[in-house]
Chain A
Amino acid sequence: MNCDHAQPLIDAYADGELDALRRLFVEKHLRTCARCAEQHAELLALRRRLRAEAPYFAAPAALTERVRAMVASTPAARPARASRVTEPLRRLSGRVPPRWQWVSGGALGGCAATVLAFVVGTAVIDWQASQNMVAQAVSRHVQATLGDRLVAVVSSDQHTVKPWLSARLDYSPPVHDLASDGFPLLGGRLDTLGGRKVATLVYGYRKHTIDVFVQPDAFDMPSSKELRGFNVAHQRAAGWDWLAVSDAEPQVLDTCLAKLIHAATAH
């Protein structure tokens, strides 16, 4: 591969958008061509500068409040939502369980529009959860990433997270920060899966959040699965059952689990 071939691919290479074959070609070319290697380095430098110098504007509190109020006062949205969510339940059980009544009762005031979108989806996923561990895990992940309880104990320090979890469970889960592998530990929380209390480790990966449920017993589910755009990876290793859920790519989840298992084995 010469420069004419490599040059147009360097951006896509830096963006991780090339297939394996072309990635290999570019990699090889970059090792031998100083000019293209410099161009690649400049791209990475620009990216670093952009992340450091160009601000990411978070939604102002006032806007968040206004959106909340707006959702609360959108009457048109409610009946349709409510019936869509509650109708299948009504048909199944003859009544709307109390936990759904807030939906039909119109108590949507605490949700923003985007969250409402999720809540509708979550409700549907939740409804399937009784029959399906995968759905349950995804549903926990979605609930957590939406609400304020993504992490109950916020810490990138494994020595803070581990005792917090151990004190609340009948086992002491393996907790390792994987920041050096690109998966910084954000914290931990407790969830219930299949009627059992389970430790949830929360990792970051770029803009994604990865929930890793870990327990000594086996989760009753297949090794990997996709549900409504969320990927679920499941492994049994190092004496633990690992269940990872995220909207990140399946390969990312596999890597994350492999690193965790490696860390757990090493200790």
Chain B
Amino acid sequence: MPHLSAGYNLARWLARDGHDAEDIVQDACMRALKYIDSLNRSEARAWFLTIVRHAFYDWCERNRPAEIAHDDGSALEAAVDHNAIDPEQSAVRRAESKVLADAVAELPLAFREVLILREMEELSYKEIARIADIPIGTVMSRLARARALLQGSPRLRAIGERTSGGDR
């Protein structure tokens, strides 16, 4: 059952907890059964991941409303700028030699989900855009920032300026 694992992996990374991920996937399966008629078979994995993602956000609203509240656009910018754009701080982060998996888990939700879908599920920008319900351009900028965050790279400043509208 390859798709069940794909769904669980996504839920596990989004919720950052095994038990919660199980609840979410179970809920997603329930929905999948209900909406089976809307399944376009060619895209079964993307379809199921979309449902898992919805299930996660609904679950999050009930159980961790604070996490979503932070994830509107402006808060996202602020969170990133504050955390990582300072080169000195990224040096500190590197010095802590944080395990990469922890760094992924700490990415803001909106970045984490596109990164997981791209690097672990190897989905195309188009598929990710559909699953996360965002334009392809947003997929690209979020991916770039997610990666830059993980690299603690000075490039982040450039990307940050670019996506927040500054013409260079």
- The answer to whether A53 and B7 touch across the interface, beta carbons within 8 angstroms, is no
User: Which of B8, B29, B44, B125 has a CB less than 8 Å from the CB of A58?
Assistant: B8
A15 CB-CB contact with B under 8 Å? yes
- The answer to whether B44 and A117 touch across the interface, beta carbons within 8 angstroms, is yes
Interface residues on B, range: 35 or more
- The answer to whether B104 and A63 touch across the interface, beta carbons within 8 angstroms, is no
By a CB distance below 8 angstroms, the chain A residues around B4 are 59, 63-64, 67, 112, 114
Min CB distance A81 to B, Å, is 8
By a CB distance below 8 angstroms, the chain A residues around B26 are 63, 66-67, 70
- The answer to whether B125 and A50 touch across the interface, beta carbons within 8 angstroms, is no
Total interface residues on A, CB under 8 Å, equals 51
- The answer to whether B104 and A50 touch across the interface, beta carbons within 8 angstroms, is yes
B21's nearest neighbour on chain A, judged by CB, is A57
- The answer to whether A71 and B99 touch across the interface, beta carbons within 8 angstroms, is no
- Contact count A vs B, C-beta below 8 Å: 129
Q: Looking at chain A's contact residues, is the secondary structure mostly helix, strand, loop, or mixed?
A: helix
User: Which of A53, A77, A116, A230 has a CB less than 8 Å from the CB of B101?
Assistant: A53
- The answer to whether B42 and A247 touch across the interface, beta carbons within 8 angstroms, is yes
Q: How far is the CA of A114 from the CA of B12 in the complex (A)?
A: 18
- The answer to whether A54 and B101 touch across the interface, beta carbons within 8 angstroms, is yes
Identify the A interface with B (CB < 8 A): 4, 7-8, 11-12, 15, 17, 39, 42-43, 46-47, 49-51, 53-60, 62-64, 66-67, 70-71, 74, 76-77, 81, 112-118, 120-121, 145-146, 206-207, 228-230, 247
For this complex, 18 residue pairs linking A to B, each with C-beta atoms less than 8 Å apart, are A42-B153, A46-B150, A50-B104, A50-B120, A55-B101, A57-B8, A60-B18, A66-B26, A70-B33, A71-B29, A74-B33, A76-B34, A77-B34, A114-B4, A114-B7, A114-B48, A115-B1, A118-B44
Instruction: With A53-B100, A60-B18, A228-B42 given, name 9 new contacts (CB 8 A).
Output: A8-B162, A62-B22, A64-B4, A74-B33, A81-B36, A112-B29, A113-B29, A114-B29, A115-B1
For the complex of A and B, list the 5 residue pairs with the smallest distance between their C-beta atoms, beginning with the closest.
A229-B42, A113-B29, A59-B8, A57-B12, A121-B41
